[in-house]
Structure 1
């Protein structure tokens, strides 16, 4: 992909030519847009705000590329969804040497980069250029969408092109931000967006982007609460490496008058109708994805009532759920296709739950951050909010007071070499019930384990939190095809920078590599990863 597509903003016609059209209904005006390639009049902008809103709608639809399942499969499913422990493929792609067993494939691993720069940064940048100084609500909205998308990209690769996006050096290179610099920029953008939207709402001005908003239907207050929760997520993310900054940003989110997401009806779900959820295609049409072994171990061990809302009983054994362990020998696809399928999803893609907000508050309370409240109450509210999401409130009291159930040893009915028996160091012994006398580390394991369950199926965030905390305990790969670049016991930590940047932006890449903690491979930890 040429750098011009995602790094050079010369005029709208060049930008719009790079926008991936997902819905004809949402993009019916693009032919008219291209007839006026240099600028738009105020009358055109004010008519229905399509020239601001449609690019941002396209950006939201590309956080996971909804209408292109093959790309979505490589954008997230065959990396983060698997590395998170949520899912595993029964398919022995590329002769069983692929991402799932650390045989990282360059053509696969470029997809998150291309989608985000080609579909999200271009659209957000275009909308912000048109909105700046005139439409503060659209400008702020673009900032929030951009941070939601691009923090995910940074959590895959590390350094990214963010603050220097669109700036070409005299040597024709484009500079990356280190991950630390990118995170600081995320906080700055979120702070500005939250302040701008808050002021806009309190002024009583018209709320204008409802027709384009596939998440909250133009409810600006919910967007502010989402932005606050996203800010707290990122603050918690860096708490181990940059505590003063984390505390300042986290407390700003916790103490904002509009607060965080609190109830399941505020979950950040992108409505992709009429397109079906790409995971449904991957699971039911292609038979390329199934339940992961850690999900089987944890959900069955806890007798978790969410289990039948997440997965379908297996054909591999009677009345049971079976997950596939990551990184195993798969001699033929049909060996594991009978394992538990994913329950079919509605036409919405989930990127943040309100339950996560409560678990973030629970962790913040462990650190004594102002506005965080009580850790036990937040932890239990997180579980309750997740149960409400699935209509399971009647199960809450028994579940939250269970102090005996633990993750179950894993048995592979097809190959006992993949078993994880009782006493294995990778099998957690954490129970559900909160214990005020537990150590900070035990409290953290409880919080993260329940957050991991509640965030399903958002594998990107689950993988990221596992890397940050080591929780929940997951099972290492059985086969490691990394060529000793990724430790089996330490798990995969990131994905290499895209080969296309090495080709088109070698000077920029050379500088970016100096910001890493090690070599450009999957074993090198990210900045926030201790």
Structure 2
């Protein structure tokens, strides 16, 4: 797979060259004026580019996941550059990156790829994959902002500059369900084979399950705002065939490359963490540690590790976890809204054996994500069997739906899958069936607390997928996160969305003002709620 990605990187240079005319986002309207549009660009290249950028593009993943959403849901924090999320310090630029880099690159390419492939009767599978990818890309954007340009976005109009209208999020979601249903049905193994596809190498059966599992994820977004619609779409997705095994997981298996802002072959999440000196890297938030520790979660020990802070390269630093535990130093993270240097700990000496004693300072005593989780070639999980099972558990519990098995079975299968998928990381832990069974025995679905248990496990399973963890937390309210305000905070509660870019408010005022009016409170503020985020 890594050779496959490196080979594809060469062909993507062609795509990048052809996209030079689509200059960096300065005026949204310019995206709709493309008189130099290539007439022979292969849509498969555009599909692959958007697939690889989704988890490989450094700026979006750094700003959106590491700086904002993972700290907002109290999975990580403590580092100075993560204060925007863990302390609620408003930064419009960081909230704008998904929009300003996504529309002129990912949206422009995938919309064009859908249109190009639709014109070729020999590319029906490619067209279906592009349609599914289009939904996947737009879903991440609308879930963060609310109403967005959708129907007119990425369209080329040679007649002049067009300011795209914003579509209501409700309408966008209705189209998502239509597109996923049609695209899933359109896939046919006897038709074109899209071998360069990053996700499944052209496997149409796998793509069907991906489309239907994405359909399930998005259907659950409506669980509070429109339960009847949510139930109907959940049942439709399940009937069409969702993930049934870990082999169905949608994963990008990145290359062992230290990403730059131009090279997208490595894992953008990992690089976003590792590009800073050790003392400046985020630590694991105590909220996550407490949830896992109280449940005696067997994932905690392999995930939360202590490192001697010199040298800075993760591959070369020294793991002192076991030595600290032997010295009765507990697992310590950073509290909500606090920096690595808050609650300062004096240095301790630990014995590594063989007469080697090292001094572990404050930062070394506060646990980080394990090395094996943040390598350049770490896999990126888009949608997994674990997530699918936990969503089915919630739907079954919430509405009493008949989705194959009862909520307890879906829950236990989801938890087991989430634990086992850690072994897919290079050097990741292989948890035993006994460890997993002990966890399930000790953590049953308690009456009256079923939804909290299910969605807390989903929050843990979505570690390293910040935008999705943030969306599911907003939808469900689980886990119950305590606010993390302090003197620097610009919000008294956990923010609920990203604010629109200033460039859009300046250049597309008429249309964006209509979208802002649809937000709760009618103000473009990060405390306003998107349509599906109902109290």
Q: TM-score category by the smaller chain? A: 0.7 to 0.9
**Within the alignment, does 1:468 sit opposite 2:475 as a pair?**
yes
What residue is the counterpart of 1:234 in the other structure? 218
The one-character-per-residue Cα deviations of 1:372-400 (angstroms, maximum 9, x if unpaired) are 53111111111121222233242121110
Distance 1:34 1:249 in 2: 37
Confirm or deny that 1:455 pairs with 2:462. Answer: yes
By how many angstroms is 1:268 displaced?
A: 1.7
Partners of 1:92 and 1:114 in 2: CA distance: 20
How far does residue 172 in structure 1 lie from its aligned partner after superposition?
Answer: 4.1
Q: Distance in 2 between matches of 1:31 and 1:67?
A: 13
Q: Any idea what the Cα deviations from partners look like across 1:81-111, whole Å, max 9, x if unmatched? A: 1112211142267xx6x34322211121111
Is residue 176 from structure 1 mapped to residue 166 from structure 2 by the alignment?
A: yes
Q: 2:301 aligns with which of 289, 305, 308?
A: 308
Distance 1:309 1:228, change over 3 A: farther
* Residue in structure 2 matched with residue 44 of structure 1 by the alignment: none
Q: Is the 8 A contact 1:173 1:505 kept in 2?
A: yes
Q: Which moved more, 1:241-250 or 1:314-323?
A: 314-323
For residue 32 of structure 1, report the CA deviation from its aligned partner.
8.7
1:22 and 1:467 map into 2 onto residues whose CA distance is 39
Kept after mapping to 1: 8 A contact 2:65/2:465:
no
> SS where residue 255 of structure 1 aligns?
helix
- Residue 235 of structure 2, aligned match among 241, 251, 259: 251
Change (3 A) 1:92 1:220: closer
Structure 1 residue 322: Cα displacement: 2.3
CA distance in 2, matches of 1:34, 1:522: 32
Q: CA deviation at 1:329?
A: 5.7
Corresponding residue to 2:286 among 285, 293, 298:
293
Question: Which is richer in strand?
Answer: 2
Change (3 A) 1:283 1:172: closer
Aligned to 1:62: 53
d(CA) in 2 for partners of 1:310, 1:389 = 13
Answer yes or no: is 1:79 the counterpart of 2:72: no
1:192 aligns with 2:174: no
Closer/same/farther in 2, CA of residues 347 and 487 from structure 1, 3 Å limit: same
SS in 2 for 1:210: coil
Question: 1:348 matched to which residue of 2?
Answer: 379
**For structure 2, which runs of at least 5 residues remain unmatched after alignment?**
1-5, 21-34, 258-265, 309-319, 345-360, 423-429
CA deviations 1:224-248 (Å, max 9, x no partner) are: 1111111111111102111222122
Instruction: Classify 1:370/1:401 alpha carbon distance in 2 versus 1 (closer, same or farther; 3 Å).
Output: closer
Closer, same or farther: CA 31–328 of 1 in aligned 2, 3 Å = closer
Does the residue aligned with 1:363 lie in a helix, a strand or coil? helix
Residues 1:514 and 2:517 aligned together = yes
- 1:361 aligns with 392
The residue that corresponds to 1:397 in the other structure is 437
Question: Shift of the alpha carbon at 1:117?
Answer: 1.0
1:424 maps to none
Is the Cα contact below 8 Å between 1:516 and 1:524 reproduced in 2?
A: yes
Calculate the TM-score normalised by the size of structure 2: 0.78
Which residue of the partner structure matches residue 260 of structure 1? 242
Rounded Cα–Cα distance in structure 1 between residues aligned with 2:126 and 2:256: 25
Asked if 2 retains the 8 angstrom alpha-carbon contact of 1:311 and 1:342, the reply is yes
Compared with structure 1, are the counterparts of its residues 370 and 136 closer, same or farther at alpha carbon in structure 2 (3 Å cutoff)? farther
Q: Is the 8 A contact 1:290 1:337 kept in 2?
A: no
Aligned residues of 2:283 and 2:340 also touching (Cα < 8 A): no
CA–CA separation in structure 1 for the residues paired with 2:89 and 2:445: 40
Aligned equivalent of 2:406: 374
CA contact (8 A) 2:249 2:383 kept: yes
Q: Distance in 2 between matches of 1:228 and 1:470?
A: 25
CA contact (8 A) 1:314 1:322 kept: no
Cα pair 1:314 1:321 within 8 Å, conserved? no
How many equivalent pairs are there?
Answer: 452
